[in-house]
Amino acid sequence: MDGSLRRPVGSASTDLRPTNELRLENVAKSYGGVRALKPITTTFSRGLTGIVGDNGAGKSTLMKILSGVITPDAGSMWLNDRKVAFTSPIAAKRAGVESLYQELALAETLDVTGNIFLGRELTKNFFGLRVLKHREMAASARVTLKQVRINIPDVTSMVRSLSGGQRQAVALARAIHFNAPVVLLDEPTAALGPRETASVSTIIEHLVEQGKLVIMVTHNIPQVITMATRIIVMRAGSIVWEVDPRQTSEEELMSYMVGTRTTKNG
């Protein structure tokens, strides 16, 4: 990468709440003979980091490593000053990393409350049996949904009956409810209409205002320039440029994405 690279400086801490930095050192991943992710070293700080790049750039592989879906072949990852190794998405969640994928990972046969608490249900002991605290979870879900600012009829609504934007709201509500300091977003506004895109963007801005460390993969270049505090461009498994969105343009980002420009003066 060229000498004009700009990286924000974050304050480190051994306390995982809040998380000020997520740091990667020489993280790499191959599938057979294919180098999906070349050794990457970078630091994510509080605010919204947007990751852009064409298909095959390595964005999905990077996000899957950050969320514990896959493990890297080499390199190390640090949350603040603590070295971490996520062997599963559950391990990542326990460390405070919530992920929202394009597929959403929502259970269509459950209602809104069931999806917000999926895998982390509140229970009580009833004559030796563990039973769900339905009322407590529903009340808590209603409070959380008010924060995401998207109208959902009721927490007892089945997810399969919701619109795309409402589904995204439920997934984001899960991250908000469990107060995750790190939120990973993979194409959060893909296939949404203008109104729902605006609503989801508002939720993301709310996460940033709360001091979260948010990483978003997107193909929506105008959106990322408007919302992000930092943009990373990936190509062929590498980070080729990192920039303050206030110091770039759609045309310049595209030139790095497709490889017509490889240095600041190229």
For residue 13, name the pLDDT band (cuts at 50, 70, 90).
very low
More confident residue, 213 or 200: 213
pLDDT digits (tens, 9 = 90+) for 135-190: 999 999 998 888 777 678 889 999 989 887 788 788 888 877 878 899 999 888 87
Quickly state the pLDDT bin for 224 (edges 50, 70, 90). Answer: very high
What element of type H or E holds 21? strand 21-31
Sign of the four-CA dihedral 154, 158, 161, 165 = positive
**Structural domains for the chain:** 21-258 (3.40.50.300)
In this structure, how many other beta carbons lie within 10 angstroms of the beta carbon of residue 250? 11
Question: Cβ neighbours of residue 61 under 8 Å, at least 6 residues apart?
Answer: 29, 36, 37, 70, 237
Amino acid residing at 33: G
Which amino acid is located at 238 in the chain? S
Name the band, by pLDDT with cuts 50, 70 and 90, for residue 1: very low
This prediction's pTM = 0.82
Is 50 exceeded by the pLDDT of residue 257?
Answer: yes
pLDDT value at 265 more than 70 = no
Mean pLDDT of 229-238: 96
The one-character DSSP state at 70 is S
Give the separation between CA 19 and CA 21, rounded to whole angstroms. 6
pLDDT tens for 103-133 read: 556 888 899 999 889 888 899 988 888 999 9
Residues 85-99, mean pLDDT to the nearest whole number: 89
> What does the pLDDT read at residue 5?
35
Tell me what pLDDT residue 10 has.
31
Give residue 8's pLDDT: 30
pLDDT at position 15, please? Answer: 40
As a whole-number percent, the residues of the chain with pLDDT over 90 amount to: 51
Helix (H, G, I), strand (E, B) or coil at 162: coil
- Judge whether 188 and 204 are in contact, CB under 8 Å: yes
